[in-house]
Every structure is written in C-alpha cells, then in structure tokens.
Amino acid sequence: MGKEFCMKKNVVLIAVFLAAALAAAPGAHAQNYKHVTVIDTNFEDGTLGGWEPRGDLTQGLEKLEVVKDIKHAGNSAMRVFNRSKTWHGPKHKLTDNAVAGDVYSVSAWIYFKDGPANGAFTFSVERSFKNASQAHAYQNVTTFQAKKGEWTELKTEYTIGADPTQASIWVYFELPYKEDNQVQPNDKIDFWMDDIKFVKLDPASRPKAEVNIPNLSDVWQKSFDIGAAVSRSAIDVSSQTAQLVMKHFTVLVAENDQKMETVQPTEGRFNWEPVDAIINLGEMTGMRLRWYPLVQHTQNPPWLFQDKNNPNQAASKDLMNQRLKTYIQTVVRRYKGRIESYDVVNDALSDKSGLRTGAEGSKWHEILGPEYIDNAFRWAREMDPQAQLVISDSNLESDTRKREEMYNLVRGMKQRGVPIDAVGLQMHIDIKSPSVQQIRETIERFASLGVKVIITQMDVSIYTSASEAKKTATDAILLEQAQRYKDIFAMLREQAQKKNLGDMVVLWGTTDNTSWKNDYPVQGRGDAPLLFDARLQSKPAFWALVDPSKVRGLR
C-alpha cells in the first residue's frame, strides 16, 4: 500500500472509530436492554394479526387464512394459498418511521407440503419514500432453505439502511423471484407460517467492532493485501460491520451482488445500486476492488439462455455470444480504472472430469461450447487493458485431477493468445485438509505457467466432511483453526516473496454468522470459518495472524 492510501484510509477510520469509541465509553452499555417487540403473531386469536396478501385483491388473487389443521405450536397458523406469482406472499407493516441503523431480529416458522424435497423462501422488505411519487424499493434480505413436510425456522437480522428519503417499511415472505413467463407449478405452492416475531433491538445491545486491536492488513501489507467479501446490506458506513471491514481489510468484493441475476435481472435493464454501494465504500476508504464473477454457470437470470420470442426454446449460439459480449463490455466499461481485478470465468471445471457441461448445469457450455471462456477474457481485455483477468475455481488445492485440468486449460489459453493474468484459488478448506504442502505445490504449479495465483475466497471450516454432525466451536477447535490460519498464511508469505502469489488474499466473509458455510453443505449446521465471531469479536485465528503470542498453545 502506498502512503496516499494509508493517509486516506486513516482519516476515514479516525472519524468512524471516534464515534465507535464514544459508544463504547463507560455507561454506554446498559445491562437491561430495552428491546421493542414490533410484530408478534401466533394466530391463536383467529385473526391474521395485520398480515395481508401482496397480490391484487381486486383480481381475486392470493389469499391468507388462519387454519388449525397445520400449525407449528399452539392451535393455529396462517395458510398462504391461491398464489400465481413467485412474489405472492404475506406482508406486514414494520414501521412508518424508518430510522437508519435500527436493527430488527427476525424469527418465523415456515412449512410446505407440495413441490420439491427442499424449497427456497426469501425474506424481503419494501420501502416507501417521503416523496410519495417515488416508486417503492424492494430488497431481498436473505434466502433460506426449508424441508418439505417439516417446520423450518428462519432466524436473521435486518438493519435499516442509511437513506434519509425513506419513510415506511413493510416486511414480506416470498419465493425466489422469476419472471411471470418462467413461473412453474413448484413456484406457486401453498405454504404455512406461524410464530412470526420482529423485535427492534436496543442500540446498546448491538455487537460493536473492537477498536483497540491491530489492523489485520497493516500487519501483512509488506506481503499482500487482505480482502473480504461483503453484501450490500452489511456495508452502510455507519454500521459496525462496515467499521470492521474498513479497519482490517484493503480489498473489497461483493459476495453475491455482482452476479448477473442481480446486475441484469431483465435484458437491457442493469441494476447498479447494490454494486455501486459496495464500490463507493471501497473508493471512499481507498480499498482495492474486485469483481466476482463476470461469468459462471449459476445465479443467472432466466431470460439469459432463452430465445427472445419463445422462452421455451434455447437461445441460438449467435444470440448467446451477443448477450455475453454486451454484458461483459457494459460492466467492464462502466468500472474501467475502478475495478482492478475480475474473476472473468468462475467454476468452469466439472467436479467429475473436464469442463462443466450442460449436464452439470452450464448453459454457457451447452450452447456455446468451450469457446465462451476465451471470448469472455478477450472481451474483458478490450474494455480494460489494465485490469487483472482471473479464472477461478474450487478445490484446485485439494483435487489433483482438477488442478491438472486447470493447468492444461490455462496453458492452452496462453498458447492461443488469450489474455489471462492469474488463477484464483477459492480455498474453501477445513481445519484438517488439504495440507499446507498441497497448497504450496498448487501455487507453484500454476505460477510455472507465468501467471500469478491469488486467493479469492478463503475460509477454514471447523468441519472436515458433510457427514460430520453439528458441533460447538470449542476452545480446542478454535485453537486448531488458529494454527491452520497461521501455517497457511506463513506459506502464503513465502510464496509472495517468491513472486508466485499475487498481492491479495481475500477471505469469504467477515463474521461467522454471515458465512455462506452456515447451512452448507448441511442444512441446519452452523459453521465458524472466519476471523471474527457473530459479535464482531476477534477469534484466536485473528490473533494467530497479527500476534501469535496472544494465543496460548500455538506452535
């Protein structure tokens, strides 16, 4: 990092953390928190308790009713039925006075009995504005999985964003959005809800980022920058999570908000707000910015692979090339000189053999064949000759077959003159494997091709397999995790000194409770793979990287 970067970041941090320090002063934390329950509906009184359908009542659409035959607890629950759109579901007014930074805990139980064995449901919010002529805004807060025939609990938090123009907020539950012509029978299933509770948390009870601890990136700046993946909802500059990010990280990437289903939900309409919010935070604090990803096989909008005139027919090869080129050129042109590193193609390799094909969900390969990879890189380079162009994938450090297939893919790309600068290792590893030596050999193998290696999505799970039962992160487990981080980062420093590793290592998340590893690969199994816990407090793994002497038992 240069002197100008450090000065800029420090000025911002001084201002932000002064406020945090005042909040942490003696007397700022009350022992008896004054939480306020805003919504508490169990349907036992036979009424809907303020819940109403989102569908147009004048058209006789979607209905809600209190029933007694299916319920979570007590004698009653709410049935949501007669749905014809994915967004049909129950909604409730949360507040008529939206206050930036207010945090609500959310708890609700959901049940369905038709459709797939596992179903996705989304908790979302709708916002109105003080200017009544302004269109309402909609935000998906979180999507969760439920099992058919079982009651599943949704537990999350919602923080009101910093927007002085907003007025009222409604909360609602729906299925993941699809265009009307894409809605299938499984998207219109009935579902039941019970014991729905929204509690506005006392500000004194909110987790607070630690101020008086070393800055992670400062400790490692001579070797490489350290980054974090964040979501749009977590990075309002006034939030404690944003303070943690600004203090410890110097690279920023969106966890999901840069994926095509968010950026271009319908053809020709680009949604820049979530991405710009993250980029603005990064630029305000002098952070380096990445894009993940331009192209991957999942989380694409339904229209992308369809014929323009017949959605039941696949798009032609010419149309797909046109759409791919337009998307890449639009994104990279917009952020030229601002985004310095792109995961151009992500997860192109099969988990079995060769490239991921249509049989494994890659419509790109099914329609375009392998040429889509080369084309994506060439079109990105045309728009920004200075950007770092990366091909990234999972398990490269642990799967020898996959590593060699990526090696051959990159070697072929270079022989064909494709502009590729780096290979990205996702590095979703665990406390046992792969070995440090395996990771070292992987980095050196790709570096021998004349490309850099960067770590794009690192986390260290406390579980070693999908069959391992849910467990508590004990002191012994956290010590083992700390040792793992220490050993791997020591090796990464060595590889950086040898010029094999690029100048950034990105962690996939900020705090354990927001990690994608919760509920994956096992529903209902929480994980603790990162450096900070749910209360934004530093874990032994953090101290293993900044001051190992603080962690008793480290080697």
Rounded distance, CA 26 to CA 42, Å? 39
Same domain, yes or no: 410 and 457: yes
Average pLDDT over residues 323-329: 97
Question: Please, which residues have CB within 8 angstroms of residue 297's CB and are 6 or more apart in sequence?
Answer: 347, 348, 356, 360, 361, 362, 363, 364, 365
Residues 474-488: what's their mean pLDDT? 97
Same domain (yes/no): 371, 414: yes
pLDDT value, residue 38? 97
- The pLDDT-based confidence of 311 (bands split at 50, 70, 90) is confident
Q: Quick one: 194 and 221 in the same domain?
A: no
Of 104-113, 298-307, 476-485, 531-540, the one with minimum mean pLDDT is 298-307
Q: Token match 């990159």: residue?
A: 410
Is 18's pLDDT higher than 50? no
Distance separating alpha carbons of residues 88 and 316, to the nearest angstrom = 33
Beta bridge partners of 511: 532
Chain centre to alpha carbon of residue 395: 19
Q: What is the pLDDT of residue 240?
A: 85
CA–CA separation, 537 vs 19, rounded Å? 18
Mean residue pLDDT of the chain comes to 91
- Identify whether residues 263 and 138 lie together within a single domain: no
- Rounded to an integer, what distance in angstroms lies between the CA atom of residue 486 and that of residue 547? 10
Spatial separation of the C-alpha atoms in residues 53 and 424, rounded to whole Å = 45
Position 5 in a domain: no
The answer to whether 527 and 478 are in contact (CB under 8 A) is: no
Residues 148 and 257 in one domain: no
| pLDDT of residue 405 exceeding 50 | yes
Residue 289: predicted pLDDT: 97
Can you tell me the distance from the alpha carbon of 351 to that of 457, in angstroms, rounded to the nearest whole number? 18
Q: Do residues 72 and 93 both lie within one domain? A: yes
Same domain? For 68 and 168 the reply is yes
- Which of 153, 184, 204 terminates a domain? The answer is 204
Number of H helices, E strands in the chain: 12, 20
Q: Sign of the CA dihedral 180, 323, 358, 409? A: negative
Is it the case that residue 11 has pLDDT exceeding 70? no
CATH code for the domain of 490:
3.20.20.80
Single out the residue in 204, 226, 257 at which a domain terminates: 204
Please say if the pLDDT value at position 153 is more than 70.
yes
- The string of pLDDT tens digits covering residues 370-388 is 999 999 999 999 999 999 9
Which one, of 183, 172, 193, lies nearest residue 54 by Cα?
172
> Which band of pLDDT confidence, cut at 50, 70 and 90, is reported for residue 237?
low
Backbone torsion region of residue 120, taken as left when φ is above 0, otherwise alpha when ψ lies between -120 and 50, otherwise beta: beta
Q: How far apart are CA 228 and CA 272, in angstroms?
A: 20
The CATH number for 105's domain is 2.60.120.260
pLDDT at 57: 60
Dihedral angle, C-alpha 323, 453, 555, 476, nearest 10 °: 10
Is the pLDDT assigned to residue 156 strictly greater than 90?
no
Q: What backbone torsions phi and psi does residue 394 show, to the nearest 5 degrees?
A: -95, 155
Look at residue 475 and give its three-state secondary structure: helix
**In which domain, by residue range, is 420 found?**
215-464+480-550
pLDDT at position 162 is 72
Would you state the pLDDT for residue 438? Answer: 98
Spatial separation of the C-alpha atoms in residues 522 and 405, rounded to whole Å: 28
User: Which helix or strand (DSSP H or E) is residue 79 part of?
Assistant: strand 77-81
Give the pLDDT band of residue 314 (cuts 50, 70, 90): very high
- End-to-end CA gap in the chain: 30
The answer to whether residue 333 sits within a structural domain is: yes
538 secondary structure, DSSP code: B
The pLDDT > 70 percentage for the chain reads 93
Are residue 85 and residue 110 in the same domain, yes or no?
yes
**HSE value, Cβ hemisphere, 13 Å, CA-based, for 225:** 21
Q: Is there a single domain that holds both residue 418 and residue 536?
A: yes
21 part of a folded domain: no
Q: Nearest-CA neighbor of 119 among 156, 161, 89? A: 89
- Predicted pLDDT at 27: 40
The set of residues, in sequence order, having a beta carbon less than 8 Å from that of 85 and lying 6+ positions away, is 55, 61, 62, 180, 183, 188
Residue 445 lies in a domain: yes
Residue with more model confidence, 32 or 187: 187
Cα–Cα dist 239/159, whole Å? 9
In a domain, 327, yes or no: yes
Q: Is residue 250 part of a domain?
A: yes
Based on the domain organization, do 304 and 384 belong to the same domain? Answer: yes
Q: Can you name the residues that pair with 159 across neighbouring β-strands?
A: 103
**Residue position matching structure tokens 């038992």:** 553
**386 and 419 fall within a common domain:** yes
Is residue 260 within 8 Å of 301, Cβ to Cβ?
Answer: yes
Enter the DSSP assignment of 512. G
**If pLDDT is split at 50, 70 and 90, which confidence band does 25 have?**
very low
Least confident window among 10-24, 448-462, 506-520: 10-24
Q: How far apart are CA 487 and CA 455, in angstroms?
A: 15
User: 187 lies in a domain?
Assistant: yes
| pLDDT tens by residue, 269-280 | 999 988 998 999
* Position 185 confidence tier, pLDDT thresholds 50, 70, 90: very high
Identify whether 434 is preceded by a cis peptide bond (ω within 30 of 0).
yes
Whether residue 222 is found in the same domain as residue 160: no
User: Quick check: is 470 in a domain?
Assistant: no
CA 511, CA 528: separation in Å to the nearest integer? 8
Instruction: Point out which residues pair with 291 in neighbouring strands.
Output: 342
437 pLDDT more than 80 = yes
- For 72-121, how does the pLDDT look when each residue is reduced to its tens digit (9 = 90+)? 999 999 999 999 999 999 999 999 999 888 889 999 999 999 999 889 89
Burial class (CB in 10 A: 0-12, 13-18, 19+), 57: exposed
Q: How many domains does the chain have?
A: 2
Least confident segment among 65-74, 181-190, 212-221, 409-418: 181-190
Reference 395, options 408, 405, 384, 387; nearest CA is: 405
Q: Of 163, 179, 204, which residue sits at a domain end?
A: 204
